[in-house]
Structure 1
Amino acid sequence: MDTVAKDAGGLQTSYIENGNAITLNGTVYHFTPDFIGVPISLEKGAGSADTVFATVEPALVESYNQLYQENNAAIPDGAFGASNNGAFAISSGATTPVDSLYATLLDGSQLKDSAMYLVPIKLKDKNGTALKSSIVFFKMRIHKINLGVLIDTIDAVQGVTPIPYKGGYFFDYFGADIADEYDFNIQLNAKFPQKDLKVSVEAYNDTASVNAFNAYDVPFPDGSFSISQKDYTIPAGALTASDNIQLKITNKSLFQSFTTYLLVVKLKQSSDTDNSVPVLGNGGIFYISFFTF
């Protein structure tokens, strides 16, 4: 254990990270979105082009626990890895590589959601040059997420702020004039760096859809509104779609005074099945109500 403390630089230091195991349409993807890159340092400049290799050492979890009186859970083989595929090139004469070290999540299948795991990484120089620290400890919190998309709230319009309603949102305008346009954000519940994702949007002003919300409301008149587009893209690594849903009121004269009108806007899973993302329950529904006088 004294050797472990010495190899770690004599410090009880562990760098905090987050790892995401994201399930999308039945496939699990692993990402390490938040990390602290730790520099690797040789005691002296490399005599020639060199490489430092980094490997996860699960057995060192127990040594760390005994040394520092902690109770970190054992980690399964293959659950974690080292950044840069565990190989860090160092130029002749240099003491540090260009790339920094951090732990990566490789397989979260045997890990618990929201749990924190200690990830010891051992460093070894190919040419045998001494390292300032040959063991680095990381702690990674695991997040298991079923990826989905929802309509995020729009900003206040005409002094009215949408309110949460049955998992979705409800915008209720009561006043003398209707705005020309209402914008909605489309948002994932987690960033997904793997690829762009697609989602579709539909607006419903049929009697059945309106009555499902309130039997006393009247559907938006045909020809009174339009939706900017039907299909939307959420770029890889982004949280929101590249475009907002724009609901435009195209003919205000069709709305009669002292009548409550309702429109239902829904997200739908895209027909592009390779890049589609499921809708998060009722989070993909937005109810828009107008009452003018």
Structure 2
Amino acid sequence: MPAGGKPTVRSRRFGHRMQRHRVSAGFDQSQAAEFIHGSRSKISRMEDGITTARPAEVLLLLDRYGVTDERERGHLVWLAKNSGHRGWWLNFPELSESYRDHISLEDDATFIREWQTVLIPGLLQTAAYAERTAALAPRSLTPKVVAQFVKVREERQAKIEEGGTGYAAIIWEPVVSLPLVPATVHREQLEHLLRAGKRSNVSIQVLPVSAGVKAGISYPFSSFSFDSQPTVEAVAIDNLRGSSILEAMDDLTAYASAFDRLRSEALSPDASARLIRRVLRSGKEEAS
């Protein structure tokens, strides 16, 4: 069960998926409880992410719910077993709880989609860019804490660099063309974007300023999928205090649609790379 009875990102995901299967099968919580000789309270706490269930109970419930897909069954058993797993990010005590939740979603995800309007996405930042932009945080950070945040960024990027996760980023044009960091750092960052965009699991698109209104500019957000299909199952919205995690079906549908609109109005990955190269050439000409 989650440590201290407190829901974790994984236990909430487990509970929500089990609840959807129960409702789809037409059972109430009391009926589900009878299947495992438990109480309605146990099912309620499980679906709220406060507790999980033993693998045998999970499989028994899924049998009664009519869930036969072996991938889904295996994934739910894995979530039940690992809901209290201690991730590497817990070794950084200065991270906020919401940031840890965000990293936990990234670590489990098979697909990540991100929209950014102010900064280069964290999963694509160079160490120098991450260090410089840390100074833009709403609260002052000590050099030691900044160094820790840069280290966390590098750890977060490992899964993308290893090809373990599909990643699609849409970046608003001013982020590319109007640097918030020194020119040398910005050029290094743009060169890194071009290299990252060549990875088979990475797609980088730039949304032109001219297309912003049509696409519907929104606050930066990331969406996550945890299965072989890129169905959005969680969304993280950036804010001044970290991230807010959304898991309600209406929210997931809205943000999936928002990303699709942004992607349809953004430049293609190839055209985006050409724009980034033009910005690089322009910067070099101004520096000469």
Q: TM-score interval w.r.t. the shorter chain?
A: under 0.3
Q: Which has the larger strand fraction?
A: 1
Q: Greater CA radius of gyration, 1 or 2?
A: 1
Output the TM-score relative to the length of structure 1. 0.24
